[in-house]
Structure 1
Amino acid sequence: MGIHETLAATIESKSELVAYLASGSKPEADWRIGTEHEKFGFTTADLNPIPYAGPSGVRAMFDGLAGLGWKPIFEGDHPIAMERDGASISLEPGGQFELSGGPLVTLHDNSAEIDTHIREIHQVGDPLGIRFMGIGFHPTKRRDEIPVMPKGRYDIMRRYMPTRGNLGLDMMLRTSTVQVNLDFSSEADMVEKFRVSLALQPVATALFANSPFTEGKPNGFQTYRSHIWTDTDPDRCGILPFVFEPGMSFERYVDYVLDVPMYFVYRNGQYIDASGQSFRDFMVGKLPALPGELPTIKDWQDHLTTLFPEVRLKKFLEMRGADVGPVDYLKALPAFWVGLLYDDAALDAASQLVKDWTVAEHQALRDDVPRLALQTPFRSGTMQDLAKEVLAIADGGLRRRGLLDVEGEDESIYLAPLWDDAITGETPADRLLAGYSGPWGGSVDPVFEELAY
């Protein structure tokens, strides 16, 4: 039985796993843009995180969104997501509200989708006393003060995470990100885009740095969210040096995924704990959690979602290095990556820029950017210098796409906040810290208004 016939098809060989990834290849005319962003909900009365239940909770938000055409997705008796027109709204472990946008053609479409979403969460949330804010790490609450959402896979992850790192539970409960998902045309195109986006992910991390507070105080980082991933789980996070090596391919990524321990298997509406077990054993019917059973394509899909490198490959490439931020930054992230990856000349220029970087340099940027952001030293300059060079490449790529909005503006307009920051060297985190040490008088509470959508 072929892998395209049904998600329930049993996997019979590694070649089917490779073919699954390869099946994401599509002609340029069919490339799309998919943006996802998470945000923290809070009650306007007391700035506390919103619970799942209750009059000012997640379920009340879902009920209100149902009146706007969103359809609920249940796990047991609990609605845990909503979907409409190819987009979805889902819950991260700590109640972070995530919009996973539909596959869109232009950045103007993406802008309109985000504007519609923000308008709808106001329409539903304001009467409930609920607002949302865009910051990469929760600025005030301890881990044990964050409500946990009723999703079975998260129970398994919460038990397993502390066995692999010190900050995995913080990742689950107290971080929010924005990411963009982009297409490739072939294995060679995937490899080039993977290398460029993985090398330049620290540039995005620096430009979008927006998480300088922990439990009401500065934490010493520009993006604490990014730092958290360095102490979450070494098996499934990091810079993936093999991507830059000769022989990178769909099969090489499959080998990497097969070596990452599992979290769970989903059967009959239940998540079965398979944490620490091997998908390779699953392939030969020797998974301790399900002895004698073989995996399905759906099991492979699920396993792919439990890896957290800075760039993740599924049937598309996910850019995962940025803190969530204000609305103009939600629109800027896809612009940054579309400009670099969806124009041949830009992709070639970016490839030339990074082709001689060493693994040690990749790692140094990954290690230093969370604390130093645009002031991170790199070769004879800084990340700020590199950001301006990369933005110029992305800007050219967007202008050459020549896709105009109703006012005749091309997609490069969405890079504006990033240009401002690259020129000044000031990140969103810098502005928050300036507020804290200046007009906010040492209080973090004003961030709830400053970064509210």
Structure 2
Amino acid sequence: MSIPQSGGGPIEDFAQLAGLLESGCKPASDWRIGTEHEKFGWLTDSRRPLPYAGERSISTIFSRLEQRFNWQPVKEGENIIGLTRNGANISLEPGGQFELSGAPLVSVTETAAELDQHFAEVAAVTEDLGIRFMGIGAAPEWSHQDMPVMPKGRYRLMTDYMGRVGTHGTQMMYRTSTVQVNLDYASEADMVKKMRVALALQPVATALFASSPFFDGKLNGHKSWRSRIWRGLDNSRTGMLPFVFDEGMGFQAYVDWVLDVPMYFVYRDGVYHNALGQSFRDFLKGELPALPGEKPTLSDWADHLTTVFPEARVKKYIEMRGADCGDRAHVLALPAFWTGIMYDDAALDAAWELVRHLDQASREELRIAASVDALQGVAGDVRIADLAQAAVSLSHAGLSARGYGEEALLAPLVTSLKAGKVQADRWLDLYKDEWGGSLEPLYAASSY
């Protein structure tokens, strides 16, 4: 989840809303790769989730990282809620999921170096505390009541609202983890093509990276329970965005959709003001009940853009949001997969040809099949394994054309395709055989 955004001053012209997205356009020479991953901290002597405060806690880790590795604190009130350094930041999801949002980098090989430095620093400040971190899509055993609550006003408001609008919102907030990549676009037309390919292929990412077959201490019937959760959350702000495939899609069409998504909050001077269910359109007219007479700034608009959660999201870049978190190799394979497709013209064109025949119903059926069966999923006459094989091949060609050696980072996906098994399948095999139906070994097996 995002920290407060810095978008700019007062909105004086409606065109500024689309203009903020359009300002993300940049030439290919300036395109960058930003990788984010979340992970669950746990105490090795009890297998309990890592609390925010105390001797063995998130706040202790933050303090040590600040002191030893020159990270700068981000505070909300008196509480440290994140760290920043050289374009990267470490932040917290609602249940304490520890998130690295990496700096914008030229290649995924640079991402690998950044990730390894992060793991080394975190290990250095936790080795005497009995703390480890799981790379997995959903907490396998912890209940909602087990999860710590992070001291962020945004999350308090969202928790209340999620309980009213869907069946799985708080599960998403407190008990799931993802890996995603943020990629650039050159123009409005480039954004549209990338969004269409991104949305149509998100089920492939869900399948290839599925790692959450356990929830509430038992099998949940899905390879990616994290993906299942997103289907029962808040339909006004999630999903596969059918309008993206319509004639006339562009920045303004995306703006129009976001404007109709109910608000969560307005952030002012360190305080989150409750605007749950209220309208940004009313805010533009100075008629927001939460702040009567006030009009929004571009920073408010940038904040509101972070409160929509489709499978691919536009800000001043595109976020690919369909994957469970996994081990180190999979954390790196996700940005490699999407970079190969999105940052090579031939690969992007071929990817669009691969999926352009899919209609709205087919895309949704693939999304469901991926969460349930991963590579074994089928929707109509489309086998996810076949679609994934073609997509990974296109990504490999695109990465090879870039010349950074990034294609080697697709190795875990190639292995999964050859075996027909993803991380979730391997966890299930171990659970049913070697682990004898116990989830205790999963903690160490899935940890960094």
Is the 1:12–1:283 contact (alpha carbons within 8 Å) kept by the matching residues of 2?
no
Q: Which moved more, 1:351-360 or 1:152-161?
A: 351-360
- Equivalence for 2:335: 334
Query: Is residue 2:428 matched to residue 1:427?
Result: no
Q: How many angstroms apart in 1 are the aligned matches of 2:378 and 2:418?
A: 16
- Equivalence for 1:437: 432
Q: SS at the partner of 1:127?
A: coil
Q: How many angstroms apart in 2 are the aligned matches of 1:170 and 1:139?
A: 12
After TM superposition, which residue ranges in structure 1, 4 or more long, deviate above 6 angstroms?
none
Is the 2:82–2:91 contact (alpha carbons within 8 Å) kept by the matching residues of 1?
yes
Instruction: Kindly report which structure 2 residues correspond to 1:281-292, keeping only aligned pairs within 5 A, or say none.
Output: 281-292=282-293
Q: SS at the partner of 2:41?
A: strand
Q: SS at the partner of 2:440?
A: coil
Deviations 1:47-88 (A, max 9, x none): 100111111100000011012111111100000000111000
Deviations 1:213-256 (A, max 9, x none): 01221111100000000011011000000001110000000000
Query: Is residue 2:236 matched to residue 1:235?
Result: yes
Q: How many angstroms apart in 2 are the aligned matches of 1:7 and 1:371?
A: 39
Amino acid aligned to 1:13:
D
- Equivalence for 2:78: 77
Q: Normalising to structure 1: TM-score of the pair?
A: 0.96
Q: How many angstroms apart in 2 are the aligned matches of 1:47 and 1:14?
A: 51
Q: How many angstroms apart in 2 are the aligned matches of 1:347 and 1:448?
A: 38
- Equivalence for 2:407: 412
- State the 1:106 CA deviation: 0.7
Instruction: Kindly report which structure 2 residues correspond to 1:6-405, keeping only aligned pairs within 5 A, or say none.
Output: 7-66=7-66, 67-403=68-404
Q: Which moved more, 1:301-310 or 1:210-219?
A: 210-219
- State the 1:7 CA deviation: 4.1
Relative to structure 1, the CA distance from residue 265 to residue 389 in structure 2 (aligned partners, 3 Å threshold; closer, same or farther) is: same
- State the 1:139 CA deviation: 0.6
Q: SS at the partner of 1:48?
A: coil
Q: How many angstroms apart in 2 are the aligned matches of 1:20 and 1:291?
A: 25
- State the 1:381 CA deviation: 4.6
Q: How many angstroms apart in 2 are the aligned matches of 1:161 and 1:110?
A: 33
- State the 1:368 CA deviation: 2.0
Amino acid aligned to 1:371:
V
Amino acid aligned to 1:236:
R
- State the 1:10 CA deviation: 1.0
Amino acid aligned to 1:402:
G
- State the 1:14 CA deviation: 2.1
- State the 1:286 CA deviation: 0.3
Is the 1:76–1:269 contact (alpha carbons within 8 Å) kept by the matching residues of 2?
yes
Q: How many angstroms apart in 2 are the aligned matches of 1:161 and 1:378?
A: 30
Amino acid aligned to 1:375:
Q
Amino acid aligned to 2:41:
G
Deviations 1:315-335 (A, max 9, x none): 000000000000000000000
Is the 1:65–1:124 contact (alpha carbons within 8 Å) kept by the matching residues of 2?
yes
- State the 1:9 CA deviation: 1.5
- State the 1:377 CA deviation: 1.1
Amino acid aligned to 1:155:
R
Is the 1:209–1:323 contact (alpha carbons within 8 Å) kept by the matching residues of 2?
yes
Deviations 1:250-275 (A, max 9, x none): 00000000000000001121000000
Q: Normalising to structure 2: TM-score of the pair?
A: 0.98
Q: How many angstroms apart in 1 are the aligned matches of 2:217 and 2:262?
A: 35
Deviations 1:382-440 (A, max 9, x none): 1111111111110000001112xxxxxx1100000001111211010010011111111
- State the 1:8 CA deviation: 4.7
Q: How many angstroms apart in 2 are the aligned matches of 1:298 and 1:445?
A: 44
Q: How many angstroms apart in 1 are the aligned matches of 2:370 and 2:349?
A: 25
Q: SS at the partner of 1:161?
A: helix
Amino acid aligned to 2:363:
H
Deviations 1:180-238 (A, max 9, x none): 00000000000000100110000000000000001221111100000000011011000
- Equivalence for 1:452: 447
- Equivalence for 2:3: none
Q: How many angstroms apart in 1 are the aligned matches of 2:148 and 2:349?
A: 46
- State the 1:379 CA deviation: 4.5
- State the 1:380 CA deviation: 3.5
Q: SS at the partner of 2:128?
A: helix
Q: SS at the partner of 2:206?
A: helix
Amino acid aligned to 1:12:
E
Amino acid aligned to 2:318:
L
Is the 1:216–1:443 contact (alpha carbons within 8 Å) kept by the matching residues of 2?
no
- Equivalence for 1:406: none
Q: How many angstroms apart in 2 are the aligned matches of 1:298 and 1:324?
A: 29
- Equivalence for 1:407: none
Is the 2:7–2:301 contact (alpha carbons within 8 Å) kept by the matching residues of 1?
no
Amino acid aligned to 2:435:
W
Amino acid aligned to 1:118:
F
Is the 1:388–1:423 contact (alpha carbons within 8 Å) kept by the matching residues of 2?
no
Q: SS at the partner of 1:128?
A: coil
Q: How many angstroms apart in 2 are the aligned matches of 1:145 and 1:46?
A: 12
Q: SS at the partner of 2:69?
A: coil
Amino acid aligned to 1:292:
G
Q: SS at the partner of 1:320?
A: strand
In structure 2, list runs of 5 or more residues that go unmatched.
1-5
Q: How many angstroms apart in 2 are the aligned matches of 1:235 and 1:417?
A: 35
